[in-house]
Chain A
Amino acid sequence: MVEVDTPGRSPASPARTAASGARGAALLVHSMRDPASVSRLDAEALDVVLHAARRHDLLARLEHDLVGLGVLQDLPEAARRQFANARVHAQANAVTLRFEADRVRRALAGLGIRIVLLKGVAYLWAGLPPARGRFSVDIDILVPAADVGRVEWTLVNGGWQPAEMNAYDQHYYRDWMHQIPPLTHSERGVELDVHHTIFPPVSGIRIASETLLADATPVGDGLWVLSPADMVLHAATHLFQENPAGRLRDLLDLHDLLTLFGQQAGFWDSLTERARRHGLGRPLYYSLRYAADLTGTAIPAAVLARTEAAFAPDAVQLSVMDWLVRRAIVARSPGQGGGGALARFLLFTRSHWIKMPLGVLLRHAAVKLFYRMHERNAAKTG
Chain B
Amino acid sequence: MPPANTRGGDQKGFPSIAPACHVSCVSEQTIDSQTWRLLEPAGLAWRCWDDEYIVFHPWSGMTHYLDATAGAVFELLLDHAATVHDLATALAGLADTPATDNLSTVVQQVLHRFDAVGLAEPMP
Direct contact of A and B (CB under 8 A): yes
Residue in A95, A102, A103, A188 whose CB lies within 8 Å of B58: A95
Interface range on chain B: under 10, 10 to 19, 20 to 34, or 35 or more? 10 to 19
Q: Are B118 and A103 touching (Cβ within 8 A)?
A: yes
A102 touches B15 (CB 8 A): no
Q: Does A96 contact B (CB under 8 A)?
A: yes
**Of B15, B58, B60, B116, most A-chain CB atoms within 10 Å:** B60
Any chain B CB within 8 A of the CB of A92? yes
Q: Chain A nearest CB: distance from B90 CB in Å?
A: 27
Contact B13 A189 (CB under 8 A): yes
Secondary structure at the B interface, as helix, strand, loop or mixed, is loop
Query: Which residue from chain B places its CB closest to the CB of A95 in the assembled complex?
Result: B61
Nearest Cβ distance between residue A134 and chain B, in whole angstroms? 16
Q: Is B59 part of the contact surface with A, judged by Cβ < 8 Å?
A: yes
Assess whether B59 is in contact with A189, with CB atoms less than 8 Å apart: no
Let me know if A345 is at the binding interface, CB within 8 A: no
Our count of residue pairs bridging A and B at CB distance below 8 angstroms stands at: 23
Asked if A99 is an interface residue, CB under 8 A from chain B, the answer is yes
For the residues of A in contact with B, the DSSP-based class is helix
Tell whether A95 pairs with B59 under 8 Å between CB atoms, given A102-B118, A103-B118: yes
Whole-angstrom CA separation of A160 from B15 in the bound complex: 16
Which of A's residues lie within 8 Å of B, judged by CB?
92, 95-96, 98-99, 102-103, 159, 187-189
Knowing that A99-B59, A103-B118 touch, tell me 17 more A-B residue pairs with CB under 8 angstroms: A92-B61, A95-B59, A95-B60, A95-B61, A96-B11, A96-B61, A98-B59, A99-B60, A99-B61, A99-B62, A99-B118, A102-B118, A187-B13, A188-B11, A188-B13, A189-B11, A189-B13
